[in-house]
Amino acid sequence: MEIVKIRSITPNPDNPRFIKNEKYKLLLHSVKVSPAFMLMNPIKVDLDNMILGGNMRYKACMELKKKEVPIEVFTREHAEINNKARREEGIEEATYEEQCREFIIKDNISFGEHDWDILGNEWDPIQLQEYGLDGFPFEDIEDIETSEEFSLADGDKEPFQQMTFTLADEQAEQIKNSLTDIKATEEYKYCETMGNDNSNGNALYLMIMQWAEQRR
Which CATH number characterizes residue 83's domain? 3.90.1530
**Overall number of domains in the chain:** 2
If asked whether residues 121 and 68 sit together in one domain, one would say no
**Residue 55, domain member (yes or no):** yes
**Which residues fall within 8 angstroms of residue 49, CB to CB, at 6 or more apart?**
4, 8, 9, 10, 71, 73
- Indicate if 85 and 159 belong to the same structural domain: no
pLDDT at position 100 over 90:
yes
Residue 152 in this model has a pLDDT that exceeds 50: no
Q: What is the pTM of this model?
A: 0.56
- Same domain? For 141 and 209 the reply is yes
The verdict on 91 and 122 lying in the same domain is no
Strand partners, 2: 71
Could you list the residue range(s) of the whole structural domain that residue 180 is in? 116-215
Together in a domain, 64 and 136: no
- Let me know if residue 111 belongs to a domain: no
Residue 79 domain-assigned (yes or no): yes
For residue range 157-194, what is the model confidence (pLDDT) as tens digits?
Answer: 566 777 777 778 788 888 888 888 888 887 887 777 88
